[in-house]
Amino acid sequence: MDSIKTNYLKEPKVLEATTFGLFLSYARSYLPEIAWLLEIRLILETIDKRSKLKLDLKEWIFEGGPTNVIEDSINTLGQKAKTYTKAFNAILGGNETFNLEYDRVQLTQKWLELKELGKGDNEKGIKLEEFVANLFHHKFGFSVLKKNLLVETQELDIILKNTSYNNFLKSLNSPFILVECKNWITTVGVSEARVFESKYREAGNKVNLGIFITLNGISKPFKTHLNNLIRDGINLVVIDEQEIERFLYSEKLDVGLWLEEVVSNQFILK
C-alpha cells in the first residue's frame, strides 16, 4: 500500500488530468477498461432518451475484457482497483463524488508543490500555513478565522472555528482550535511544546484542542512533555508528514473523522 501511495505522489500527471478530454485521452493509453466504460457512457448520453437499451456488463467481465489479471503484478492490480473504484464512483455517484475527488486533486497538488521546496526555504513555512488553511474545509465544519494573529507577546499561526458535525470532536467542547505550523530542518524541541501549551492555556475554555503540525517530527523530550499534557487532560496532538499523506489518500477525505483518529491514536499510543 505504501508503494502505491508513493507512486501516486510521484506522478502528478495523473492528478493534472482534470478535464474530461484529457482524462479520456490518458485512460485510452493507460486505463483501457475505464476508457471503454466512459465511451459507453457517452453513447448512452447521446441516444434518444426514449430508446430502450439494455446494458449488461456481466458478459464483458466474464469474457475477460482487456485486462489479464494473471499477468499483472499485485501492486499494479491494487493500484488499478483503487483507480477503477474511484472512476466507477465518479460515473455513478454524480456531483458529490466528483467534488470530493476535485478537492483531493487540489489539496494533493498544493502538497506536492510544498514538498518540492527545499528544506530551509523561507517560502516553505508560508506555503505550509496556506496548505493547512486549505485543509480544514468549511464543508466539514471548520473555518479559518485568523492567520498569524498577534496576542500580546505571542503569535498564533492559525485559529479555526469549530462547528464540526463529528460527534467525537463535539465531545471535546472546543469552540475554537489552535494550530501551530513548524517547517524546521530538524525535529522540534520541547521548548516549542511549552510555548504552544501556554497559548493553549491562555485561551481558557474556548480552546480544548490544539494541533501542532511539523514536517520533520518532534524530539523525545517534546513527546514526553506531550504525554504528560495528555494525562492532565490537555488535548494537544502532533501531525507529521506521514499523517497528512494518510489523510490525502483516505476514502472520504473527511477532516472530522481524520482528527478523531489522530486524537484517539495519540491517546492510545502515548
**Greater pLDDT, 157 or 11:** 157
pLDDT of 63 reads 44
Cell 485568523 sits on residue: 146
What pLDDT score does 52 carry?
60
Q: Phi, psi (5° rounding) for residue 180?
A: -115, 130
pLDDT digits (tens, 9 = 90+) for 190-219: 999 999 999 899 988 999 999 999 988 899
Give all strands (DSSP E) within the chain, no chain letters: 142-151, 154-162, 176-182, 207-214, 236-239
Query: pLDDT by residue (tens digit) across 218-238?
Result: 999 999 999 999 888 889 999
pLDDT, residue 80, reads 62
What does the block give as the cell for 21?
478530454
Taken in order of first residue, the domains within the chain and their CATH numbers are 2-93 (no CATH), 122-268 (3.40.1350.10)
Q: For residues 222 and 188, is the Cβ–Cβ distance under 8 A?
A: yes
Instruction: Output the average pLDDT for the chain.
Output: 75
Q: Is residue 12 scored above 50 in pLDDT?
A: no
* pLDDT number for residue 231: 87
Average pLDDT estimate for 38-44: 68
Question: What confidence tier does 43 reach under pLDDT thresholds 50, 70, 90?
Answer: low
**Residue 75: CB atoms within 10 Å:** 12
**Cα–Cα distance measured from residue 157 to residue 159, given in angstroms and rounded to the nearest whole number:** 7
Of 158, 216, 207, nearest to 189 (Cα)?
A: 216
Q: Is the pLDDT of residue 270 over 50?
A: yes
Query: Of the candidates 211, 12, 19, which has an alpha carbon nearest to the alpha carbon of residue 108?
Result: 12
Q: What is the band of 118 on the pLDDT scale with cuts at 50, 70, 90? A: confident
List own/partner pairs for 91-98 with CB under 8 A and 24 or more apart. Answer: 91/37, 91/38, 91/41
Give me the pLDDT at residue 252, please: 83
Answer whether residue 67 shows pLDDT above 50: no
